[in-house]
Amino acid sequence: MQGRSNEAIDRLYADALALEAAGAVAIVLEGIPREVAAEITARSGVPTIGIGAGPGCDGQILVFHDLFNLTFSPPTKFTRRYADGAAFFANALERYRDDVTARTFPNDAESYHLPREVREQREALQDRETLEHREAVQYCEAQQRLVELEPIGKA
């Protein structure tokens, strides 16, 4: 927080006057005592916007993440939370994780599907590959039995 001593208050007021003289169209007052912000606002010829500077400013700023409690940390003194976005998002993430873990997301309606004709062609191809694989395994097993039956080298 700024503006806690008379010297600091005088510097803030001088800075505000300098900004106004330089052509500023507004001044943001952040983290200063409300009494100081009200005094600067009363003396200023341009609007003041407060963020943690009390209600005496011409306007207010509240950061979106603070407004909706999306910071997941303790709020600053001047923050008022208008919704609990952290709980909202945490709940949604937990439900999503649970659905993925349980393999209920995505479900059939949430999935793309092959056209029926392509699916049938793929199934027929897989059936052929399964049959060819089975035949290859049987051939290898038969060859293995033959090797076991052949006498080992004649001396």
Could you read off the pLDDT of 22-68 as tens digits, one per residue?
999 999 999 999 999 999 999 999 999 999 999 999 999 988 888 88
pLDDT at 59: 96
Residue 101 inside a domain? The answer is: yes
pLDDT at 154: 56
pLDDT winner (highest mean) among 33-37, 114-118, 149-153: 33-37
Catalytic-labelled residue, pool 20, 30, 35, 94: 30
Is the pLDDT confidence value at 152 over 70? no
Domain co-membership, 83 together with 28: no
Q: Rounded to an integer, what distance in angstroms lies between the CA atom of residue 112 and that of residue 131?
A: 29
Domain co-membership, 92 together with 105: yes
Domain co-membership, 2 together with 53: yes
Domain co-membership, 55 together with 23: yes
Q: Rounded to an integer, what distance in angstroms lies between the CA atom of residue 57 and that of residue 138?
A: 87
**Residue 129 known to be catalytic:** no
Its sign, for the CA torsion 78, 57, 26, 9, is negative
Domain co-membership, 2 together with 55: yes
Domain co-membership, 9 together with 44: yes
Segments forming the whole domain that contains residue 128:
113-149
Q: What is the pTM of this model?
A: 0.58
